[in-house]
C-alpha cells in the first residue's frame, strides 16, 4: 500500500504516534501559528514527547527518497567544511558533511529545494547529494561549528589557506601560469569556481596587482590584471564558467547572488604570508554577463611612515608638522588612482594614538584601521558626507577625515569644523594645488572661510619605478633633453646628462618597471596665498605666488626622480603629456 504524503500521516502509518496524538499536535501547531509563530509539526511532536527528532528525520528521508545520515558516524573534515562558508550555511540552512569523489553530501532542511541545490552546485563546484540528519544536529552544526571542530569556517577561510596550498603545489589544478608579457593562463570548462578564484587571487597577490577585471564578452571572459598602473591580459575563462565564478565571488563577499541586474559592492579579507589583504568587490551588469572588479588593498606596515610615501625630505618634514597641529584643514588632491587615500591613511596612522579621537567618513572604506572609527556613507539611505559630518561633530572628534568633498555643503562644513578646533583632512579631484583652491571657491565655499581654515594642500601623482634588475644608464645631450622636458635641471658644466631607462627582464615581465613612487606638490597656505584667496585670484596667479615662496611643483619633483634614476622620461610623458 502506498504510504501517505503528509508527515503526520506517515508517522501514524508507521505506528510511531497515534491518531489522537497527531490531532492534538496539529491543534497546538495551529494555535501557535495563529499567534504569528512559525513552527513545524515535527517540532511540536518532539516537544510533546510523542516521538524523537531521529524518528522524524528517518520518516522524512524515506518520504523524500534521500539517505538518512547519523552524524556521529561521519568524520567531518576541514576540507569539507570550507566548501560551504558559514554565512551560506546559515542562509540556506544546510551543512556539508561528506565528500566522495566529486559528490558533496549536504544535510538540508528541505531536500526538495531545487534552487538551493543549484546554488550550492555553483558555489562548491560539486554535485550535491541531499541527506537528512536530525534537526537538532543540523542546527547545532550550523551554530557551533567553530567550537565543535576547532576551526574557523567563515567567508574567507579557503583564501586564508592559499599560501600554504601554493607552497605545496607549484600551480593550481587545470591552470597553466605564464609570465611572458601578452600571454595568459587558460582555464578549462572543468575547472571549479574555487580553483578559478584561487588562481586569480594567487596571481594577483604574487604579482602585487592592484586591480583584477573579469570582463565577459560574446564568446569568452577576459581577465586583466593592473600592475603598477598598467592593465595586462592574463587569462581567458570559458563563458560557461562565468556564472559559477561570479557566484563564488559574491558568496565570499556577502553579496546578493540572486539579482544580477543591478550593480553591487562587497568585501573579502584574506591573509597571505602574514599580511592582511582587503579585496573590494564591485559588479556591473554588462551586455554578456556580470563584470567584476576586484581591488586589492594590502595592509602595508610601511604606510604608517610618511617618509616612505616618496615625498622630498623637506616636504615630509612640513607635512608632519601640519598634521600635528590641533586644528586646520588639509586637502589632498589628484586624479583617481593617484594614491590620495593612501596618503590620508598614512597621516591618520601617524596620529593614531590613545589621546586622539579620530573619525572618518568614507565611501567606501578602503582599509580598516584598528583604533580609528571609520564610518561608511550610504547615499541610498540618505546618509551622505554632509549629513554624516553633521552627526560626527556631536561625537567630539579631534581628527576628522572626509573621503571626498563633492558639494558646497560638505565644503562649507569641513572648513567650519577646522575653525572650531578640529584637524580636518579631505580629498578633491584636481590637477594641482592651486586648482583645488579655485575649485572650492567655484562650488560655493566662501573665500573668508577658505582663507581662514586652509592649512596646506598636497597634490600628487604616481609614477612607475624602473626595475632595479634591468634598468640601464645612458647619456642624453642637454639640448635634446631640454626640448623633451623644458625646465629640466641640467648641469651647465656638462653637455650631456646621465639618465636611466627601461630594458626588461623576467622579474618585471619585460615591462622595465617594478613598483610605484609618488611625486608631490605641497602648498603651504601663507599670508600671501590667503590674500590671493580673498581676492579670488586665478589658479595661475596663486601657483606663481607659491613657487616664488619655494614650492616644488609636481613636474619639478618628477624631474628629480628622473635625474635620480628612479623613473624614466617615457613614464613622465605617459603621466603628464
pLDDT of residue 374 exceeding 60, the answer is yes
Which residue in the block uniquely carries the three cell numbers 543549484? 118
Does pLDDT of 294 surpass 90?
yes
Q: What gap in Å lies between CA 519 and CA 311, rounded to an integer?
A: 7
Kindly indicate the confidence band of residue 62, based on its pLDDT and cuts at 50, 70 and 90: confident
Return the pLDDT at 144.
54
| pLDDT at position 299 over 70 | no
Task: Say whether pLDDT at 25 is over 60.
Answer: yes
> Per residue in 183-231, pLDDT tens?
344 677 877 888 888 888 888 888 888 899 999 998 889 999 998 888 8
| Four-residue CA torsion sign, 124, 164, 223, 517 | positive
Q: How confident is the model at residue 572 (pLDDT cuts 50, 70, 90)?
A: very high
What per-residue confidence (pLDDT) applies to 364?
78
The whole-angstrom separation of Cα 387 and Cα 66 is 55
Cell numbers of 141, please? 552544526
Q: What is the pLDDT of residue 543?
A: 96
Confidence of residue 3 (pLDDT cuts 50, 70, 90): low
On whether the pTM is more than 0.75, the answer is no
HSE-CB of 410 using CA atoms within 13 angstroms: 23
Count Cβ atoms below 10 Å from residue 89 Cβ, excluding itself: 22
pLDDT at 17 over 80: yes
For residue 477, the cross-strand partners are 496
C-beta separation of 323 from 351 below 8 A: yes
**Residue 391 pLDDT level (bands cut at 50, 70, 90):** confident
Please state which CATH number belongs to domain 301-462+518-553: 3.40.50.300
Q: What is the structure's pLDDT at 494? A: 86
Rounded to an integer, the average pLDDT of 256-263 is 81
436-488, pLDDT tens digit by residue? Answer: 999 999 999 999 999 999 999 999 999 999 998 899 999 999 999 999 999 99
Residue 352 predicted with pLDDT over 60:
yes
Given a cut of 50, whether residue 513 has pLDDT beyond it is yes
Q: Convert the pLDDT of each residue in 356-373 to its tens digit.
A: 999 999 887 877 788 899
- Cβ neighbors of 425 (< 8 A, separation 6 or more) are 323, 329, 330, 331, 332, 344, 347, 348, 399, 400, 401, 402
Of 185, 275, 265, the residue nearest 225 (C-alpha): 185
First-last CA distance in the chain = 85
The fraction of the chain above a pLDDT of 70, given in percent, is 88
Contact (CB, 8 A) for 33 and 66: no
- Please state, rounded to an integer, the average pLDDT across all residues of the chain: 83
The CA-atom distances, in angstroms, between 500 and each of 58, 196, 571 are 76, 39, 11
How many whole angstroms separate alpha carbon 39 and alpha carbon 117? 24
Q: Would you kindly state where each structural domain of the chain is located, as residue ranges?
A: 7-64, 71-154, 160-298, 301-462+518-553
Q: Give the number of other Cβ atoms within 10 Å of residue 550's Cβ.
A: 9
More confident residue, 461 or 82: 461
Q: Of the candidates 203, 294, 212, 197, which has an alpha carbon nearest to the alpha carbon of residue 247?
A: 197
Are 569 and 562 in contact by the 8 Å Cβ rule? The answer is: yes
Q: Which CATH number fits domain 160-298: 3.30.160.270, 3.30.200.20, 3.30.450.90, 2.60.40.10?
A: 3.30.450.90
Kindly tell me the burial class for residue 546, based on how many C-beta atoms sit within 10 Å of its own C-beta (0-12, 13-18, 19 or more): buried
| DSSP conformational letter for 73 | G
> Per DSSP, which regions of 484-549 are E strands?
496-501, 513-524
Check the CA dihedral 385-276-466-226 and report its sign. Answer: negative
Is pLDDT above 90 for 142? no
Average pLDDT over residues 244-248: 89
E strand intervals along 219-310? 220-227, 230-238, 264-272, 275-286, 289-298
- pLDDT at 174 > cutoff 90: no
pLDDT band at 160 (very low <50, low <70, confident <90, very high): very low
Residue 378 reports pLDDT greater than 80:
no
Q: What's the average model confidence in pLDDT over 334-342?
A: 88
pLDDT computed for residue 151 by the predictor: 35
Amino acid 275: pLDDT: 67
Which pLDDT value is given to residue 137? 73
Residue 300's pLDDT is 57
CB distance 181 to 509 below 8 Å? yes
* CA distance linking residue 17 with residue 389, whole number of Å: 64
Mention every residue, 6+ apart, whose C-beta is less than 8 A from residue 21. Answer: 45, 48, 50
Q: What is the pLDDT of residue 118?
A: 74
pLDDT value for 213: 96
Q: How many residues does the chain have?
A: 577
User: Is pLDDT above 50 for 148?
Assistant: no
pLDDT value of position 205: 84
The number of angstroms, rounded, from the C-alpha of 13 to the middle of its chain's C-alpha atoms is 56
Can you tell me the distance from the alpha carbon of 295 to that of 222, in angstroms, rounded to the nearest whole number? 16
Across 382-406, average pLDDT: 88
Specify which residues 175 forms β-bridges with.
187
b/e 447-457 (16+ beta carbons within 10 angstroms → b): bebbbbbbbbb
Confidence of residue 166 (pLDDT cuts 50, 70, 90): very low
For the segment(s) 71-154, the CATH number from 3.30.200.210, 3.30.300.160, 3.10.20.580, 3.40.50.261 is 3.30.300.160
pLDDT recorded at residue 521: 97
pLDDT grade for 283, boundaries at 50, 70 and 90: very high
pLDDT at 476: 94
Residues 6+ apart with CB under 8 A from 300: 275
Q: pLDDT-based confidence at 53, cuts 50/70/90?
A: confident
- Band the pLDDT of 525: cuts 50, 70, 90: very high
Amino acid at each position: 500500500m502506498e504510504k501517505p504524503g503528509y508527515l503526520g500521516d506517515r508517522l501514524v502509518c508507521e505506528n510511531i504516534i497515534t491518531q489522537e496524538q497527531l490531532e492534538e499536535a496539529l491543534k497546538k501547531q495551529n494555535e501557535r501559528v495563529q499567534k504569528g509563530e512559525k513552527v513545524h509539526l515535527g517540532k511540536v511532536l518532539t516537544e510533546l514527547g510523542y516521538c524523537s527528532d531521529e524518528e522524524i528525520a528517518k520518516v522524512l528521508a524515506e518520504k523524500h527518497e534521500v539517505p538518512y545520515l547519523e552524524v556521529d558516524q561521519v568524520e567531518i573534515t576541514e576540507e569539507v567544511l570550507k566548501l560551504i562558508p558559514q554565512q551560506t550555511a546559515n542562509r540556506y540552512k544546510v551543512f556539508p558533511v561528506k565528500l566522495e569523489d566529486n559528490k558533496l553530501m549536504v544535510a538540508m532542511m528541505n531536500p526538495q529545494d531545487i534552487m538551493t541545490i543549484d546554488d550550492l552546485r555553483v558555489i562548491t563546484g560539486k554535485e550535491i547529494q541531499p541527506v537528512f540528519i536530525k534537526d537538532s544536529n543540523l542546527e547545532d552544526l550550523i551554530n557551533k561549528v567553530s567550537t565543535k571542530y576547532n576551526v574557523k569556517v567563515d567567508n574567507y577561510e579557503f583564501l586564508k589557506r592559499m599560501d600554504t596550498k601554493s607552497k605545496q603545489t607549484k600551480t593550481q589544478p587545470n591552470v597553466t601560469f605564464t609570465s611572458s608579457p601578452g600571454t595568459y593562463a587558460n582555464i578549462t570548462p572543468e575547472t571549479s569556481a574555487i580553483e578559478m578564484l584561487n588562481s586569480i587571487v594567487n596571481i594577483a597577490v604574487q604579482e602585487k596587482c592592484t586591480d583584477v577585471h573579469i570582463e565577459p564578452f560574446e564568446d569568452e571572459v577576459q581577465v586583466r590584471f593592473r600592475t603598477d598602473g598598467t592593465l595586462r591580459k592574463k587569462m581567458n575563462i570559458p563563458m560557461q564558467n562565468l556564472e559559477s565564478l561570479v557566484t563564488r565571488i559574491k558568496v565570499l563577499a556577502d553579496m546578493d547572488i540572486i539579482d544580477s541586474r543591478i550593480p553591487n559592492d562587497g568585501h573579502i579579507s584574506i591573509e597571505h604570508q602574514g599580511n592582511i589583504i582587503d579585496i573590494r568587490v564591485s559588479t556591473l551588469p554588462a551586455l554578456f554577463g556580470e563584470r567584476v572588479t576586484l581591488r586589492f588593498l594590502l595592509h602595508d606596515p610601511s604606510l604608517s611612515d610618511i617618509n616612505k610615501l616618496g615625498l622630498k625630505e623637506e616636504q615630509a618634514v612640513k607635512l608632519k608638522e601640519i598634521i600635528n597641529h590641533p586644528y586646520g584643514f588639509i586637502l589632498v588632491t589628484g586624479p583617481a588612482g593617484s594614491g590620495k587615500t593612501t596618503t590620508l591613511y598614512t597621516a591618520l596612522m601617524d596620529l593614531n594614538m590613545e589621546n586622539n579621537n579620530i573619525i572618518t567618513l568614507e565611501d567606501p572604506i578602503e582599509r580598516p584601521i584598528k583604533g580609528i572609527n571609520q564610518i561608511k556613507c550610504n547615499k541610498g539611505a540618505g546618509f551622505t558626507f554632509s549629513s554624516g559630518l553633521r552627526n560626527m561633530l556631536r561625537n567630539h572628534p579631534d581628527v576628522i577625515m572626509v573621503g571626498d568633498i563633492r558639494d558646497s555643503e560638505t565644503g562649507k562644513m569641513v572648513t567650519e569644523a577646522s575653525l572650531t578646533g578640529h584637524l580636518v583632512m579631505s580629498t578633491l579631484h584636481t590637477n594641482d594645488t592651486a586648482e583645488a583652491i579655485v575649485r572650492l571657491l567655484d562650488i560655493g565655499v566662501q573665500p573668508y572661510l577658505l582663507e581662514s581654515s586652509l592649512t596646506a594642500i598636497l597634490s600628487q601623482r604616481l609614477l612607475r619605478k624602473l626595475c632595479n634588475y634591468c634598468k640601464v644608464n645612458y647619456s642624453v645631450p642637454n639640448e635634446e633633453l631640454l626640448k623633451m622636458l623644458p625646465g629640466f635641471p641640467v648641469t651647465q658644466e656638462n653637455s650631456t646628462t646621465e639618465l636611466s631607462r627601461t630594458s626588461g627582464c623576467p622579474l618585471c615581465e619585460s615591462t622595465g618597471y617594478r613598483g610605484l613612487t609618488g611625486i608631490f606638490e605641497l602648498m603651504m597656505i601663507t599670508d600671501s596665498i590667503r590674500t590671493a584667496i580673498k581676492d579670488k585670484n586665478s589658479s595661475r596667479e596663486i601657483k606663481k605666488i607659491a613657487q616664488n615662496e619655494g614650492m616644488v611643483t609636481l613636474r619639478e619633483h618628477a624631474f628629480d626622480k628622473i635625474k635620480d634614476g628612479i623613473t624614466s622620461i617615457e613614464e613622465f610623458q605617459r603621466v603628464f603629456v
